[in-house]
């Protein structure tokens, strides 16, 4: 065939006797009928060809998908899009200089499935790069391109199962050899031989047309005060996953989504003492599964050091409430009070609480039990002139959903003369 000699490079001007036109070939390791069902070609944003793909079609070798005639000479942008139903599976843009007859071989690898690049870039071997990038170089020397993955097939590794790694213009493709499968089956990378056109009798996560099954057995485990680990049972046909987290189970509060390749994810940089909810969905061929069930965990809160403490004995008259301890004294009556004030450093997003004990230096053989968790100030009835009052205080830091362990105690004693005991 006249254009056979043009397949050696990405872009090649063909002999002058060839009618002027831009011919587009596509090569991919995505399998028609199972992973893709249509290929469309655009030139400078206009669709010039769109073809359906059946279960017995193949794009494992360069295959013509478009022949655009009558194009003006100059810089042209060619886009090949692989579809499955309404979903876009993978896109590859190539920028070429058109001066007459030209054949463009566009390589679209499965590593670009679901990859979305910024405006002005395209996916090359799983990475976003300039459209002018070819096999590790660009027409403009100032443009940095991903290095070529291979020069020959052996650079891509040896055969695995029914898959034969193939080097295509510097990109490694996992080309399936259907001859190694039973009749009515096709070879799909990572999945092996799958039946054409329907569900097989294999395990529940085997490939079926359409979106993948949803992940199961999602578990969230607290690792530290800033990290929660999420694991799940994967989907055999998935090319990746998305993990969503939020402060609420409805995923409306501070929700964010992260991509994951493996069946685990480490959520880091989280605030302390806070519950986070997680769910996971599988990705394949530009399609997403339903969300998994929700799992949640609470980050720890770091235990603070012993609080600082000051003790004063006021000369002001204050009313005495019930018992020796009151939360806040009234400014009336004729009772005097000893006052303890505590402070402690807590992480951002948490607040301190304190547990107090108090004892007079005479008249009580042992310190009483501690109070419940309360504020930073505690009071005792003013001691007799010959007595002092001793406070002990411990602290904890409290987040929205969890509190730290109790700190060590700080202690301090003062007399009515504001001196140590």
Share of the chain above pLDDT 90, in %: 38
Per-residue pLDDT at 209? 56
pLDDT at 320 exceeding the cut of 90: no
Per-residue pLDDT at 277? 97
Query: What is the residue extent of each domain of the chain?
Result: 2-147, 216-298, 308-415
| Higher pLDDT pick, 356 / 2 | 356
Whether 216-298 and 308-415 share one fold: the answer is yes
Highest mean pLDDT, choosing among 18-22, 191-195, 363-367: 191-195
Per-residue pLDDT at 321? 42
Per-residue pLDDT at 63? 93
When pLDDT is cut at 50, 70 and 90, the band that residue 379 belongs to is confident
Give the model confidence (pLDDT) of 138-189 as tens digits. 456 667 777 888 989 998 888 788 888 999 888 999 998 888 888 888 888 8
| Higher pLDDT pick, 204 / 75 | 75
pLDDT at 226 exceeding the cut of 90: yes
pLDDT at 194 exceeding the cut of 80: no
Per-residue pLDDT at 141? 62
When pLDDT is cut at 50, 70 and 90, the band that residue 212 belongs to is confident
Per-residue pLDDT at 317? 43
Per-residue pLDDT at 84? 81
| Higher pLDDT pick, 21 / 385 | 21
Share of the chain above pLDDT 70, in %: 82
pLDDT at 128 exceeding the cut of 70: yes
Mean pLDDT, rounded, of the chain: 81
Highest mean pLDDT, choosing among 24-33, 138-147, 333-342: 24-33
| Higher pLDDT pick, 319 / 144 | 144
pLDDT at 322 exceeding the cut of 50: no
Highest mean pLDDT, choosing among 202-206, 255-259, 304-308: 304-308
When pLDDT is cut at 50, 70 and 90, the band that residue 230 belongs to is very high
Residues 308-415, CATH architecture? Sandwich (2.60)
The full 3-state SS of the chain, as one line of letters, equals: CHHHHHHHCCEEECCCCCCCEEEEEEEECCCECCCECEEEEEECCEEEEEEECCCCCCCCCCEEEEEEECCCCEEEEEEEEEEECCEEEEEEEEEEEECCCEEEEEEECHHHCCCCCCCCCEEECCEEECCCECCCCECCCCCCCCCCCCCCHHHHCCCECCEEEEEECCEEEEEECHHHCCCCEEEECCCEEEECCCCCCCCCCCCCCCCCCCCEEEEEEECCCCCEEEEEECCCCCCEEEEEEECCCCCCCCCEEEEECCCEEEECCCCCCCEEEEEEEEEECCEECCCCCCEEEECCCCCCCCCEEEEEECCCCECCCCCCCCCCCCCCCCECEEEEEEECCCCCCCEEEEEEEEEECCCCCCCCCCCCCECCEEEEECCCCCCEEEEEEEEEEECCCCECCCCCCEEEEEECCCCCC
| Higher pLDDT pick, 187 / 275 | 275
Per-residue pLDDT at 140? 60
Mean pLDDT on 71-92: 87
* CATH number for region 216-298: 2.60.40.10
Mean pLDDT on 251-276: 92
Range name among 250-259, 314-323, 357-366, 382-391 with the lowest pLDDT average:
314-323
pLDDT at 394 exceeding the cut of 80: yes
Per-residue pLDDT at 142? 67
Mean pLDDT on 382-389: 76
Per-residue pLDDT at 158? 80
pLDDT at 229 exceeding the cut of 90: yes
| Higher pLDDT pick, 109 / 236 | 109
Per-residue pLDDT at 204? 41
pLDDT at 353 exceeding the cut of 90: yes
When pLDDT is cut at 50, 70 and 90, the band that residue 1 belongs to is very low
């Amino acid at each position: 065939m006249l254009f056979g000699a043009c397949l050696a490079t990405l872009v090649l001007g063909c002999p002058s006797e060839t009618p002027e036109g831009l011919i587009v070939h596509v090569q991919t390791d995505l399998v028609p009928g199972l992973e893709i069902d249509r290929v469309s070609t655009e030139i400078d944003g206009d669709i010039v060809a769109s073809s359906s793909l059946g279960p017995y079609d193949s794009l494992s070798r360069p295959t013509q998908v478009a022949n655009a005639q009558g194009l003006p000479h100059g810089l042209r942008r060619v886009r090949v899009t692989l579809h499955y139903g309404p979903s876009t599976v993978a896109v590859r843009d190539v920028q070429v200089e058109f001066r007459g007859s030209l054949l463009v071989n566009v390589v679209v690898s499965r590593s670009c499935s679901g990859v979305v690049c910024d405006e002005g870039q395209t996916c090359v071997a799983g990475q976003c790069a300039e459209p002018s990038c070819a096999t590790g170089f660009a027409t403009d020397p100032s443009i940095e391109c991903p290095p070529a993955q291979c020069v020959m097939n052996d650079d891509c590794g040896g055969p695995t199962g029914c898959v034969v790694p193939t080097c295509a213009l510097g990109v490694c493709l996992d080309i399936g050899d259907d001859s190694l499968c039973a009749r009515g089956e096709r070879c799909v990378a990572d999945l092996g031989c799958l039946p054409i056109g329907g569900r097989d009798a294999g395990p529940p996560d085997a490939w079926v047309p359409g979106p993948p099954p949803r992940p199961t057995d999602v578990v969230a485990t607290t690792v530290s005060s800033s990290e929660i680990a999420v694991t799940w049972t994967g989907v055999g046909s998935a090319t990746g996953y998305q993990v969503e987290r939020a402060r609420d189970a409805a995923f409306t509060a501070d929700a964010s989504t992260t991509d994951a390749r493996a069946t685990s994810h480490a959520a880091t940089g989280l605030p302390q003492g806070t519950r986070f909810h997680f769910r996971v969905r599988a990705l394949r061929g530009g399609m997403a599964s339903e969300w998994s069930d929700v799992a949640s965990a609470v980050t720890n809160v770091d235990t603070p050091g012993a609080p600082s403490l000051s003790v004063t004995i006021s000369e002001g008259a204050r009313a005495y409430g019930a018992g020796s301890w009151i939360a806040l004294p009234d400014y009336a009556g004729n009772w005097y009070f000893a006052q303890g004030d505590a402070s402690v450093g807590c992480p951002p997003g948490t607040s301190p609480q304190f547990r107090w004990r108090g004892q007079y230096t005479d008249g009580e053989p042992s310190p009483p039990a501690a109070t419940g968790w309360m504020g930073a100030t505690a009071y005792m009835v003013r001691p007799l002139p010959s007595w002092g009052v001793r406070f002990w205080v411990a602290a904890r830091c409290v987040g929205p959903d969890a509190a730290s362990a109790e700190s060590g105690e700080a202690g301090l004693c003062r007399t009515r003369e504001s001196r140590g005991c």
